[in-house]
Structure 1
């Protein structure tokens, strides 16, 4: 099945507009999902009894944060099912709506002092709603943009979307810096923590409005015209595409290691290992997140130009080397923390290999379900276990986080190479017949 009635190999203005709107919406939605972690301390003080020990308060707060990851696979599967049945665009728009509502409600929810234990329970419900929404956003967005562009530009399309998602992390970090700069610590705990959530809800509704101007993907429209839609997409995925599932989950493992360890955990680990202040690690983390956002887009362009294997080999080996360099160099040369973090962040941009591989792993009729199942289940497992594993490793070896990233990245690299050899001669994803 071809993507368009008149095949094209160049990006049109409509393609570029679609990519920009999708990427912007992804950034705003991912901001909504991660802003919680930046204000976890303030939220814990407001939603649990005042006499709760600090360690228990943080465990409970981060437990609520982590609950969203448990909801990701279910939310992703439901939205993917209907995305393969009734259309990509509808689910793409629904996911941002489902994210905006709970984000706004978190910002407006009364505290423990007013509602008692109902307050943290409501927080848990809203957080799981966010998890269900983000479970459909990432896979749905990658499928949506890849099916809107010519096959030779799928890497760039995924790269722009990935850059948008990681840009949401940077936006959250900037918002946290802004709030903590203009308000006192007491004001942040008292009320200012609500501002990012309320703004996030507003941003979400804005993203939903922008997505009204997007069109259904040509691939799905052609499948619908030919009546080639699968009756139960996830059944077909589990029965006939187990290889695609395994490949997608293994490469997603690398994505979780790179993002969770290098971007999310490293600031706290550097404070613990080398005595950096939170302000120093936040500045360095901003530099790393910025280079990640830019290089994820660059990675997509390079995939289209040189192929996924060459980019994976260069980028993943660079990720291993730059992660070791960050952990060694930060202790030996503290003044180089920002450039070292920026370099590591740049190589984290190789995560854009992941959506490209997943898009190619499944035919159009079940693509959304295949990508969503593989990605969300892998992220729930590996994303949830990574902080625990890294915490244990760092207690044994100060370079434990770098060792973990290296091992997982090598497994992913081997997966990409073996999979590429097995797929030689297979048509580009838009040309694969719907099953």
Structure 2
């Protein structure tokens, strides 16, 4: 009898992980391919005499999607806390699929003028609305499905989905850029990865149709709007912790492709390939550090992780600023390990800061504010800093400043968070 119960429990947990990860693959796949193809999209939708101006405008559209994330976080947080985690996750993956597919169909500036840029920005904003509910709903769902003592490891699988989406985008991007000429890429090749997103979404939705719910109908349902008023300190802490995560992640795994191509003057194919390798290292390191956080506590990893980024971030990016594939890869791998050490404990930490009846709303608001303000603007700010300072490494100081702020916030956490009971 006990064996049957254990088998059922194991199957439920596998289903929970699969369902939680599935939607994240699509969400981050889309954001990744936009970042990877930003130079091409800049020329097609925001043409300008100065290529840097065109690139900044393209990354501005990238940032527009992030501005809607707090709205999406509030909307899906409300659904997740009032209706259920499952409903929020299913709706978010469907909402992401439509604009992703439509981006692959819209005409360019050469065909309809400025209307093309307007349509692109609106679709990016719709995507941002979806992303605002997806990731945070999934980490709460995974935390509530986790067995005792393994919450850090379980919630880290949400990042595995994100990494999987970026790897998928990077892999497809490498194939497309490797097989097509620049003319073919600008004519029709850039559309392929966006159209492909509808297949990823369909698979994710089918998987989630059968996921179990973790929010009981008998549990108290509180108006999530009270979250900010009664728990504003913790919400600010969530934003502060994720400030470094947002800036470092998008600098290292999205902007770095453009940086290697436009400033280090490496080929796009090489940049995407090295990015894929560093993502694989990041994936393995995430699992290791997440498991370690279950054993020693979250703060004991978050604080040293932030300190390490402050100390070693610049030297490792400097290592990448060379026409040497081995040096670039060594720098990327080192940065990926630092990112994993800091970021792996974060998802579990966020879920352990709030009671169940407001958990999705509170985590969503704090997390998405950080990513809206800091994450989506990373490529645009990085290009601007490089141009202003005439220094290809100027953006690294932005990362270091964020690490200092997040380190202070980490010290402010009032207890050593480790496997706190989730009611």
1:13 corresponds to? 11
- Which of 267, 271, 278 matches 1:288? 278
- 1:98 maps to 2:95: yes
Q: In structure 2, do the counterparts of structure 1 residues 276 and 418 end up closer, same or farther at CA, with 3 Å as the change threshold? A: same
The runs of 4+ residues in structure 1 deviating greater than 6 Å are none
Q: CA deviation at 1:385?
A: 4.9
Pick one of 229, 241, 253 that aligns with 2:221: 229
Deviation readout 1:281-320 (Å, 9 max, x if unpaired): 3333222222122222222211112211222234333434
Distance 1:354-1:321 versus aligned 2 partners, 3 A rule: same
1:337 aligns with 2:331: no
SS in 1 for 2:121: helix
Whether the 8 Å contact between 2:298 and 2:416 is mirrored in structure 1 is no
TM-superposed deviation, 1:95: 0.5
- The equivalent position to 1:367 in structure 2, one of 356, 359, 363, is 359
- The correspondence for 2:405, drawn from 394, 407, 411, is 411
* Cα distance in 1 for residues equivalent to 2:153 and 2:117: 41
Matched, 1:126 2:123: yes
- Counterparts of 2:266 and 2:172, CA distance in 1: 21
Does the Cα contact within 8 Å between 1:45 and 1:57 map onto a contact in 2? yes
Matched, 1:145 2:137: no
Q: Is 1:209 matched up with 2:206?
A: yes
1:65–1:127 Cα contact (<8 Å) kept: yes
Q: Aligned pair count?
A: 414
Question: What do residues 207-243 of structure 1 show as CA deviations (whole Å, max 9, x unaligned)?
Answer: 11111121111xx11xx214x110x212x21111012
Which runs of no fewer than 5 residues in structure 1 stay unpaired?
1-6
| Residue aligning to 1:352 | 344
2:165 equivalent in structure 1: 168
Give the equivalent residue in structure 2 for 1:187. Answer: 184
2:315 counterpart residue number: 325
1:326 Cα shift? 1.4
Q: 1:298 aligns with which of 271, 281, 288?
A: 288
Residue 42 (str. 1) matches residue 40 (str. 2): yes
Counterpart secondary structure, 2:213: coil
Q: 1:102, 1:355 → 2: CA distance?
A: 27
Please give the alpha-carbon distance, in whole angstroms, between the structure 2 residues aligned to 1:39 and 1:392. 18
**Which is worse superposed, 288-297 or 383-392?**
383-392
Alignment partner of 2:229 out of 239, 249, 256? 239
Q: Distance in 1 between matches of 2:36 and 2:259?
A: 16
CA drift at 1:45: 4.2
Take 1:401 and 1:109, find their aligned partners in 2: how far apart are those partners? 32
Q: Using a 3 Å threshold, how does the CA distance of structure 1 residues 416 and 127 change in structure 2: closer, same or farther?
A: same
Say if 1:96 and 1:207, in contact at 8 Å, map to a contact too: yes
Quickly say closer, same or farther: Cα 1:386–1:332, change in 2 above 3 A.
closer
**Kept after mapping to 2: 8 A contact 1:262/1:323:** no
Instruction: Please say if residues 359 and 429 of structure 1, whose CA atoms lie closer than 8 Å, have aligned partners that are also in contact.
Output: no
Please identify, of 253-262 and 390-399, the stretch whose mean Cα deviation from structure 2 is larger.
Answer: 390-399
Cα separation, partners in 2 of 1:167 and 1:193, compared to 1, 3 Å: same
Query: For structure 1, which segment, 326-335 or 104-113, has the greater mean C-alpha deviation from structure 2 after superposition?
Result: 326-335
Is this contact kept in 1: 2:35–2:255, CA < 8 A?
no
- In the TM superposition, residue 410 of structure 1 has moved relative to its aligned partner by 3.5
For the residue of structure 2 that corresponds to 1:329, the secondary structure is helix
CA contact (8 A) 2:64 2:376 kept: no
Matched residues in 1 for 2:417 and 2:174: separation?
Answer: 50
Superposition TM-score, scaled by structure 1 size: 0.86
Q: Deviations for 1:310-334, whole angstroms, at most 9, x for unmatched residues?
A: 2223433343444233123335793
Matches of 1:120 and 1:267 in 2, distance apart?
23
Match of residue 78, structure 2, among 73, 81, 98 = 81
**1:178 matches 2:172:** no
Superposed CA RMSD in Å reads 2.8
The correspondence of residues 392-411 of structure 1 with structure 2, limited to 5 A, is 394=386, 395=389, 400-411=394-405
Call closer, same or farther: CA 1:30–1:392 in 2, change over 3 Å: closer
Aligned to 2:253: 263
Q: Between 379-388 and 26-35, report the one with greater CA deviation.
A: 379-388
Separation (CA, whole Å) in 2 of partners of 1:209 and 1:424: 39
User: Which stretch of structure 1 is more off in the superposition, 32-41 or 326-335?
Assistant: 326-335
